[in-house]
A and B are shown apart, each in its own frame.
Chain A
Amino acid sequence: MYRTRGEFAADGIGPGNRYGMTASGCGVATLLVRPDCIYISGAVRPDSGAACEGRVVMNIELTSADRAFRDEVRAFLATSLPPDIKRRVENGLELGREDYASWHRILYEKGWVAPGWPVDHGGTGWTHMQRYLYDEESAAASAPRIMPFGVNMVGPVIFTFGNSAQKARYLPRILSGEDWWCQGYSEPGAGSDLANLRTRAERDGDVYVVNGQKTWTTSAHWADHIFCLVRTDPDAAKPQQGISFLLIDMRSSGIEVKPIITIDGGHEVNDVFFEDVRVPVENLVGEENRGWTYAKFLLSFERAGIADVGRSKKQLAGLKRIAAAELSNGRPLSEDDRFREKIASLEIDLLALEYTELRALSRQTSGEEPGTEANILKIRGTEVQQRITELALEAVGTYANPYVPEALKDGWNEEPIGPEYAASVAPRYFNWRKASIYGGSNEIQKGIVAKLVLEL
């Protein structure tokens, strides 16, 4: 059943033969392949000098086109990212709404604000690799992230399931940054068990009357609109079946936003209360009671960059700078064996994450459907992020103690207490505990992998 080397030799085929070149004609094929044999004997190697039309065999280097793209992004960031915003991101200072908004506007004018969108809706048409490189370069340059609620969340739902009036009304304003969105999913009784949500929307003529409460709503205090999962059929057979996807103007009467202060002392999330809020029926996306389907689509849409490798690389570099500046027994902490090994171990985990994401990206590029690797990337990505904040906390030692929130605001001119970099370290550590909880807690992610991948 196998052809041996001897048998190949009898046919005049041996090592070094340019025989059985692959369809792409790429590489020096020393592979011994015949359509009539089960067995192949040999190896392939990339021929770096060869001009190649088709697919080159597995390799780790960026193509010249990707390198050129990366350089273009890098050059754009170097000239276009406002220095004051860059400085605030670099130093872990608070960003205001205007910081996010002005960077959004700059990207919008460049045409790069929504890489994931289809080109005819304003997307960039980038490849998976280009999007990855863009994210990586943005993080390396200390650009703020783009608020995801409009561009990455409700936008795709609207261009996929919305009607033409909704597309015309909302999409251009999401792209331009005129409209800010927030996400009305979680409720006090519906966290991991999201389908247990109770916020009611009852039809009354041309409007839905909404009553209930959303919680953990990030930037509700900045938003113009909220996209909400609401219960339209309380009698549906399954909890998932009676839910609708509703777009609500935050200026509607009957909406009240109350801040939730998190353990770092910051204000990112809110409670949003709805009391007899009247929402025009034209704000329903898709069909009534099909909202769960759209919500699941939304969760699966933004897979690219979920591991946030670029930002973790940047944070790790910051951690190394802190470790080099801190002293331990009179020597830099970075030269302390035990601390150095902790950092090395973290760095290896980050490399493993990076190459797991790059493998997923290669599979997508070669046309495979994205699987549930996003769940794994979310779990490990957030674990790595949290570990970085944890080691930074360890590195600054007792200067983790002073709590001076003013020091995190730009323009604070007083003498820092302890090293300047220490001020943001503890708040960041505490704040970042959110990462393994939001977007589907890591335990929920494991449940999904167990069910869908392992079929347990």
Chain B
Amino acid sequence: MDLSYGEDHTLLSESIARFIQNDYDFETRSRIAASDLGFDPTVWQQFADLGWLAIPFSEDEGGLGADPVSVMILMEQFGRGLVLEPYVPSILLGGRLIASMGGAEQRSRYLGDLIEGKIQLAFGHGEPGGRYALAHVATRAEGGAGGFTLSGHKAVVHNAEAADFIIVSARGSGEVRAQDGISLFVVPRETPGLTVRPYRTVDGFRAAELVLKGAQVGEDALLGEEGGAYPAIEAVTDRAVAAVCSEAVGVMDLLRETTLEYLKTRQQFGRPLGAFQVLQHRAVDMLIACEEARSLALMATLSLDKSAPERRRAVSAAKAHMGNSGRKVGQEAVQLHGGMGVTDELKVGHYFKRLTMIDTFFGDAAHHLDRFAGDA
């Protein structure tokens, strides 16, 4: 067992940190958030050129080794920079679904372009009323001559508007919450019968509601076996959940550091806030929350290639803890900044909002606590 970074990981981490520092400061981020697209295609191309888009893929898939620790490192730095570019929906969800479910022809059709930065993907899965139940798919897929007809409503699909292709889950058979019967389809965004209603999210990202009304896709749109997508969906979303736990660690760290700096500099009653014991202890509680969240994000990352029950348990432990520790650190960062903490001007509030929305990503603390306990 070795839980400290090797030299290679340290180099990777420093490299990404340097990019954030030099090319992605908070002003840049704010400008990108206000743009029409909501992310910067030039930055995305830079990610591609630097090989970052290739990190989660194996060499066979045209990638760089699919090392979960490297993804963890990348996401942690993205968290520190509050990076808006759609790495999670496009690469970790869309890309990984095609890589793990698609046939050779599908993989070569999409993955090369994805890794080169030429196309964007999204994953349309969650539905209104489904809450966080991963098998809740009411969207229907009717097989017919030469393809499938899709009908349903997909909720809060990140990166849907920018995506060239959206991976959509739909059911050919079974009850709404049954694991069997779910299939995945690669749906071009311009497909007739697919309506995309885009919006901004509270944390500055872009998402959309998808309405499918008799949207037609060809047979070659089906990923993997018909009706058998659930295990892959669960495995891919678990990897993505572990990754956003690492993103959350970066967000939390930055909030904690910023708050600590404020405690040392802000003077009230003739001394720095940090001289007050009640605030010192709260700063220590924040540190403990960050350290524990980091420990569990690491445990989850290193458990991704274990058996499915071990993987589920580890990922849900990390996500459940992250939901609670993230809320605590986010709220404390705002509180300890006083009135400034609730302003749009200060970056603290933006980090707090990201942290808060990460809790809703594929299951909040309550959902994952339940799943950890063995019942979800």
Contacts and interface: CB of A to CB of B under 8 A. Distances in A.
A22 B5 CA distance: 13
B288 A447 contact: no
A58 B283 CA distance: 30
Given A33-B8, A449-B284, A62 B1 contact: yes
A193 interface: no
Interface in A48-104: 55-63, 66
Interface string A345-386: 101110111111011011101100000010010011000000
A43 B67 contact: yes
A456 B275 contact: yes
Given A42-B64, A43-B67, A449-B287, A341 B292 contact: no
A324 interface: no
A355 to B, nearest CB: 4
A58 B321 contact: no
Contact of B8 (A4, A44, A344): A44
A343 interface: yes
A150 to B, nearest CB: 31
A434 interface: no
A366 B280 CA distance: 31
Contact of A5 (B19, B49, B298): B49
B266 interface: no
Interface residues of A, number: 69
B315 to A, nearest CB: 12
A55 B280 contact: no
Contacts, number: 203
Interface in B235-279: 260, 263-264, 274-275, 277
Contact of B320 (A15, A340, A348): A348
Interface string B21-59: 010000000000000000000000010111110110001
Contact of B50 (A2, A15, A129): A2
Interface string B4-20: 11111101100100110
A298 interface: no
Chain B interface, >50% SS class: helix
Interface stretch (A23-31, A138-146, A180-188, A258-266): A23-31
B2 A379 contact: no
A426 B119 CA distance: 63
B9 A41 contact: no
A348 B2 contact: no
B9 to A, nearest CB: 7
Nearest to B279: A456
Contact of B295 (A62, A343, A352, A363): A352
B295 A41 contact: no
B13 to A, nearest CB: 10
A16 B66 CA distance: 11
B369 A443 contact: no
Nearest to B53: A5
A22 B7 CA distance: 8
Contacts of A450: 274, 277, 280-281, 283-284
5 contacts: A5-B49, A42-B51, A58-B5, A359-B4, A456-B283
Given A2-B19, A39-B50, 7 more contacts: A39-B15, A60-B302, A349-B292, A351-B296, A362-B3, A376-B291, A455-B264
Interface of A: 1-2, 4-6, 15-16, 22-23, 28-33, 38-46, 55-63, 66, 129, 340-341, 343-345, 347-349, 351-356, 358-359, 361-363, 365-366, 373, 376, 379-380, 443, 446-447, 449-450, 453-456
Interface of B: 1-9, 11-12, 15, 18-19, 22, 46, 48-52, 54-55, 59, 62-67, 69-71, 260, 263-264, 274-275, 277, 280-281, 283-285, 287-288, 291-296, 298-299, 302-303, 317, 320-321, 369-370, 372-373, 375
